[in-house]
Amino acid sequence: MSIGDNVRIISEKIDDAARKSGRTGADITLVGVSKTVEVPRILEAVECGVRVLGENKVQELLQKHPQIPDVSWHLIGHLQTNKVKSIVGKVSLIHSVDSLRLAAEIGTYAKKLGITADVLVQVNISGEATKFGIAPGELDALFEGIQTLENIRVLGLMTIAPLGATDSQTKKMFENCNKLFVDNKRKKYHNICMEVLSMGMTHDFEAAIESGASIVRIGTGIFGSRNYQI
């Protein structure tokens, strides 16, 4: 199937899942995850209506960025503090803030550019030791810290369900993340709001949307399986 067919099928599924949660497809942002995908194929997806691209590596994003105009870029992978300066200002959203040190670094470089950087806080909802993201119990302390920073704005939360979880375990984790998201909406921090919930990939995005996701990150479902040799 062509990339265009894939985008159409995914969009229909997004719409169906959104309706089940009382929304429409227009309420959900599709991030086309273009890691390892060559530029001509990414351009094909953009022509078929993908408006936001997600990369998980800073270097790869920077390399593709000038070749693909008229889209927004999201950094969805782990960000090291020493790479912050090359990425701030180039992406419209960083999904993967999981420490105060990283948030502070982002704020510092955003200030130098005279902008406010939009980020999500990545939550490790499964408690898996190997995953990035902050434990739910540490979220309050992180928010207290981020509140004191300038030039950074938290728009919501991001999570990744672990590989190998059953469908019902995955659903439960998405629901738990949505609960955190909703609970934190009530808290009034000046630079933290809960408007965006990024969860769901090719194999679990429908469950994520039904559990409240407003951003889904889809790679394989659009571009086919990845070739890491590239």
Ligand X SMILES: *Cc1c(COP(=O)(O)O)cnc(C)c1O
Q: Is 64 in the site for ligand X (CB under 6 A)?
A: no
Question: Strand pairing partners for 55?
Answer: 75
Please state, in angstroms and rounded to a whole number, the distance separating the CA atoms of residues 109 and 63: 20
Under the criterion CB under 6 A, does residue 33 sit at the interface with ligand X?
yes
DSSP string, 123-155: B--S--TTS-SB-GGGHHHHHHHHTT-SSEEEE
Among 32, 77, 107, 133, binds ligand X (CB under 6 A): 77
Closer residue to ligand X in complex, CB, 114/228: 228
Q: Which of 64, 74, 171, 217 binds ligand X (CB under 6 A)?
A: 217
Contact call for residue 201 and ligand X (CB under 6 A): yes
**What element of type H or E holds 162?**
none
On the CB side of 155, how many CA atoms lie within 13 Å of its CA?
16
- For residue 92, state whether it binds ligand X (rule: CB under 6 A): no
Residue 50 interacts with ligand X (CB under 6 A): yes or no: no
Q: Which residues contact 105 (CB under 8 A, 6 or more apart)?
A: 81, 84
Query: Does 17 engage in binding with ligand X (CB under 6 A)?
Result: no
66-to-63, 91, 178 alpha-carbon distances in Å: 7, 12, 35
Instruction: Tell me: does residue 160 bind ligand X (CB under 6 A).
Output: yes
Q: Is 146 in the site for ligand X (CB under 6 A)?
A: no
Minimum distance between the CB of residue 144 and ligand X, rounded to whole angstroms? 26
Site residues for ligand X per CB under 6 A? 33, 35, 56, 76-77, 160, 201-203, 217-221
